[in-house]
Every structure is written in structure tokens, then in C-alpha cells.
């Protein structure tokens, strides 16, 4: 029995498409999140969630995350600076710990870190990181500063 080359090609393309839809497996200390917000350089600022863009994480509006991703993806995101986007990526579990007392504007007062931990007030030491997997534009504009 012979199989037509076009059937084989359609089957191969279908298998390739299924493989492209798979997401990378998570490590035991990671969580995958989708968050709406705005960017400036490598910093992502979470926007308030709406019914249309609910997001998938308990990141409060105004929280800042440092984005890590491939150069091509980062340049695509930079081209949409000033527009609302939704990013999807992985974060360490517990990296964003909202413990402490909230003062507003993303500011919290909590206990100092344990010995050997990050020192508060030093730039870049307490930044929440997200490893980007995907992004997409969504309806809306970012607030002007």
C-alpha cells in the first residue's frame, strides 16, 4: 500500500504544530503566570486586572518585575512600549511575597531579611524576576508618568 506524499506532508505539519504548542515543564519551585501591564526598558509594571484581562497571578497593580527573555522577544516588547500588553512566563514560587503591612503604591513594611539575605534599599537586590515565554498586545494604553 502506497501513501500519497501529500498525506505524509499534512501529517508531518500536524505533528510539528502539536509540538510547538507544548509548554516547557515547570521546576518544582516555579509557577507560570500571565500578567497584564506596561513596560519601560526591562521593567514590567503590573496593571489592574479587569474581567477581560484577568491575569493568572496575585501580583498587585503597580508591582514591578524585571523581565528576562530572548533578545528578539525583548525588542518586540520594546516596540510596544506605551501600550498595554500581557506577558506570560515563569517565576520562582514565593519570590513575590506580599507579607508585611501595605502602605500603598506597592510599598510594604515587613521584617528585614535573614542574615545573608538581600539588603533593603540597595538597587536591584530585591527585584522580582520573570523569565518570559510569550507576550501579546491587549486593548488599552499605559498611563503617562
pLDDT one-digit tens code per residue, 71-112: 999 999 999 998 999 999 999 887 665 555 445 555 555 555
What's the CATH number of domain 27-96+125-145, 2.40.50, 1.20.120, 2.60.40, 1.10.10? 2.40.50
Structural domain boundaries of the chain?
27-96+125-145
Task: Kindly indicate the confidence band of residue 119, based on its pLDDT and cuts at 50, 70 and 90.
Answer: very low
- Output the DSSP codes for 4-26: -HHHHHHHHHHHHHHHHHPPPPP
What local confidence, expressed as pLDDT, does residue 12 receive?
A: 47
Mean pLDDT of the chain: 73
Q: How far apart are CA 7 and CA 14, in angstroms?
A: 11
H-helix or E-strand spanning residue 46: strand 43-46
Burial of 12 (0-12, 13-18, 19+ CB in 10 A): exposed
What local confidence, expressed as pLDDT, does residue 79 receive?
A: 93
Mean pLDDT of 59-76: 92
Amino acid at each position: 500500500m502506497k501513501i500519497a506524499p501529500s498525506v505524509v506532508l499534512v501529517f508531518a505539519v500536524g505533528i510539528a504544530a502539536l509540538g510547538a504548542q507544548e509548554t516547557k515543564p515547570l521546576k518544582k519551585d516555579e509557577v507560570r503566570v500571565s500578567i497584564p501591564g506596561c513596560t519601560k526598558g526591562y521593567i514590567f509594571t503590573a496593571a489592574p486586572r479587569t474581567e477581560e484581562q484577568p491575569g493568572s497571578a496575585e501580583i498587585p497593580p503597580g508591582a514591578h518585575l524585571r523581565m528576562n527573555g530572548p533578545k528578539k522577544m525583548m525588542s518586540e516588547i520594546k516596540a510596544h512600549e506605551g501600550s498595554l500588553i500581557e506577558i506570560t512566563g515563569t517565576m520562582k514560587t514565593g519570590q513575590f511575597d506580599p507579607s508585611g503591612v501595605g502602605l500603598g503604591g506597592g510599598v510594604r513594611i515587613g521584617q528585614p531579611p535573614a542574615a545573608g539575605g538581600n539588603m533593603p534599599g540597595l538597587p536591584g537586590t530585591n527585584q522580582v524576576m520573570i523569565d518570559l515565554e510569550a507576550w501579546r498586545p491587549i486593548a488599552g494604553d499605559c498611563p503617562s508618568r
